[in-house]
């Protein structure tokens, strides 16, 4: 078996596998456009005798972590022909992808799992949930007269991305978008847009939505302040003669909308969404901002990391946090006492999805309780979110 990047001439074999695995068919008129946009070096395949047996895509992307872009390898399009499944092909592809990401300095990796237990075996962990609401129109928040105005049909990508950028920096795990991503992955042909402008003329919020079958389907609702939120909700509420309910999908988990409704007893779902894993623990910690300790002396903690899929992370480390909150992770001799966790737990804690205290309580983080409490104080409180899909 050979693991390697695909070649341009293997486009048809790659597309055929995707069509079969994900149960769709590309129209003949769209096939050539796909061929033109095919970037073979972003796809890795498992071959035997020249035949493509399995593949995945490795996308060079960036995520916001603590308000800063971090290099991330996005795993997508994982597919295997049925007769070759359960033969370790995806395991080999993921191992190759991890080595490649580590070589390229991509310190994080994210994916949307077909099976959460499957990808946990290779070090990925759920890092964000989203909410989904179904709200009757008569339960909408009260219409509010606000300063400023809402303009419909604004598709200025630079303007929309400026609002999105300010919003996304509040969360760990939001994708850094560029113009191509907006055109290809965000703005659909059926999407309507509306932008809230403050009285000063500054754009401070937008909504992407569709109106169909008497439903208002909201794809993205992004606001930078409460006035923008109220202005956009009043705009949406003015559709009350056209729709009976709103479906609001992929809402950040810290959203407060139900509390603000006239009747909060709408249908609400919380959905575990994307998974992430730290690719290089030492590099990630070195780029991370901890809460500066109360003392002027650095804090030092022993930390054993389990990561069978990325052996450069596996082993005993010394976690040191300086008086300024700068972190470092250096190899250490096995300690008699210290904290221990797998790479999944470390990822969940540092991204802010779970706290050290709760991971210690459920046994995912082990070691002295005093060390777990110290780690609790060092990791900033934060929220995770992701509005995109790949």
Instruction: Tell me if the domain spanning 2-111 has CATH number 3.40.630.30.
Output: yes
- How many whole angstroms separate alpha carbon 194 and alpha carbon 210? 11
What φ, ψ does residue 131 adopt, rounded to 5°?
A: -105, 150
Query: Could you tell me the pTM of the whole model?
Result: 0.94
CA-wise closest residue to 107 among 73, 60, 75:
73
Q: What is the pLDDT of residue 333?
A: 87
107 vs 64: CA distance, rounded Å: 12
DSSP letter string, 54-107: EEEEEEEEEEEETTEEEEEEEEEEEEE-GGGTTSSHHHHHHHHHHHHHHHHT--
CA atoms of 342 and 88, how far apart (whole Å): 22
Average pLDDT of the residues in 135-161? 92
CA atoms within 13 A on the CB side of 11: 13
With a cut of 70, say whether residue 275 has pLDDT above it.
Answer: yes
Q: What share of the chain is helix, strand, coil (3-state, %, to 5)?
A: 30, 35, 35
Percent of the chain whose pLDDT exceeds 70: 99
pLDDT recorded at residue 138: 86
Q: Residue 144's pLDDT is what?
A: 86
CATH topology of domain 131-272: Aminopeptidase (3.40.630)
Domain spans of the chain?
2-111, 131-272, 281-378
The single residue listed with the structure tokens 């609400």 is: 268
- In angstroms, the CA 3 to CA 54 distance is 10
Which tokens hold the place of 7?
Answer: 């070649």
Helix (H) or strand (E) holding 24, with range, is none
Q: Which whole number is the average pLDDT over 66-81? A: 98
Q: What is the mean pLDDT of residues 314-340?
A: 93
Question: What's the confidence (pLDDT) of residue 262?
Answer: 87
Q: What is the pLDDT of residues 280-305, one digit of tens each?
A: 999 999 999 999 999 889 999 999 99
Res 120 pLDDT > 70: yes
Percent of the chain past pLDDT 90, that is, above it, reads 93
Read off the pLDDT of residues 5-17 as tens digits, 9 standing for 90 and up: 999 999 999 999 9
pLDDT digits (tens, 9 = 90+) for 193-206: 999 999 999 999 99
Q: Give residue 344's region: left, alpha or beta (phi > 0; psi -120 to 50).
A: alpha
Q: CB count, 10 Å around CB of 213? A: 8
Instruction: List the structure tokens of 289.
Output: 């901002």
Q: Looking at the predicted structure, is the pLDDT value of residue 235 above 70?
A: yes
Which CATH number, 3.30.1050.10, 1.10.10.60, 3.40.50.800, 3.40.50.40, labels domain 281-378?
3.30.1050.10
Q: How confident is residue 335, by pLDDT bands cut at 50, 70 and 90?
A: low
Q: Which of 195, 230, 227 is nearest to 209 (CA)?
A: 195
pLDDT at 334: 82
Distance separating alpha carbons of residues 266 and 189, to the nearest angstrom: 29
Average pLDDT over residues 320-337: 91
Phi/psi of residue 18, each to 5°? -65, -45
Average pLDDT for residues 228-257, to the nearest whole number?
Answer: 95
pLDDT of the residue at 279 = 98
* Whether the domain at 2-111 and the domain at 131-272 fall into the same CATH topology: yes
Cβ–Cβ < 8 Å for 42, 58: yes
The whole-angstrom distance between residue 42's C-alpha and the CA centroid of its chain comes to: 19
Q: Is the pLDDT of residue 119 over 70?
A: yes
In tens, the pLDDT along 16-54 reads: 999 999 999 999 889 999 999 999 999 999 999 999 999
Alpha helices in the chain, H assignment, sequence order: 11-22, 28-37, 89-104, 116-120, 157-168, 179-181, 226-237, 257-260, 281-286, 343-351, 356-361, 369-378
What's the pLDDT band for 142 if we cut at 50, 70, 90?
Answer: confident
């Amino acid at each position: 078996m050979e693991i390697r990047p695909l070649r341009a001439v293997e486009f048809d074999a790659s597309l055929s596998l995707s069509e079969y695995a994900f149960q769709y068919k590309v129209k003949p008129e769209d096939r050539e456009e796909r061929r033109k946009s095919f970037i073979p070096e972003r796809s890795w395949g498992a071959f035997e005798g020249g035949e493509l047996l399995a593949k995945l895509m490795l996308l060079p992307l960036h995520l916001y972590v603590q308000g800063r872009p971090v290099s991330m390898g996005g795993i997508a399009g994982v597919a295997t022909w049925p007769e070759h499944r359960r033969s370790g092909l995806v395991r080999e592809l993921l191992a190759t992808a991890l080595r490649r990401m580590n070589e390229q300095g991509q310190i994080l990796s994210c994916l949307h799992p077909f099976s959460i237990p499957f990808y946990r075996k290779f070090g990925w962990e759920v890092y964000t949930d989203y909410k989904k609401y179904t709200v009757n129109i008569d339960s909408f928040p009260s219409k509010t007269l606000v300063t400023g105005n809402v303009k419909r049909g604004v598709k200025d990508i630079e303007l929309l991305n400026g609002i999105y950028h300010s919003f996304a920096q509040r969360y760990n795990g939001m994708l850094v978008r560029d113009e191509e991503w907006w055109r290809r992955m965000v703005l659909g042909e059926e999407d309507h847009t509306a932008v809230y402008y403050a009285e000063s003329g500054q754009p401070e919020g937008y909504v992407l939505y569709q109106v169909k079958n008497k439903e208002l389907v909201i794809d993205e609702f992004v606001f930078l302040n409460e006035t923008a939120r109220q202005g956009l909700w009043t705009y949406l509420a003015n559709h009350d003669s056209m729709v009976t309910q709103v479906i609001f999908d992929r809402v950040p988990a810290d959203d407060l909308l139900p509390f603000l409704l006239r009747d909060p007893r709408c249908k609400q779902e919380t959905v575990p969404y994307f998974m992430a894993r730290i690719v290089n623990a030492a590099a990630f910690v070195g780029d991370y901002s901890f809460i500066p300790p109360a003392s002027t002396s650095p804090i030092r903690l022993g930390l054993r990391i389990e990561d069978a899929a990325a052996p450069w992370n596996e082993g005993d480390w010394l976690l040191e946090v300086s008086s300024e909150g700068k972190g470092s992770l250096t190899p250490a001799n096995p300690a008699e006492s210290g904290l221990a966790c797998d790479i999944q737990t470390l990822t969940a804690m540092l991204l802010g999805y779970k706290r050290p205290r709760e991971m210690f309580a459920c046994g995912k983080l082990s070691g002295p309780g005093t060390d777990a409490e110290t780690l609790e104080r060092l990791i900033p409180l934060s929220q995770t979110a992701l509005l995109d899909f790949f």
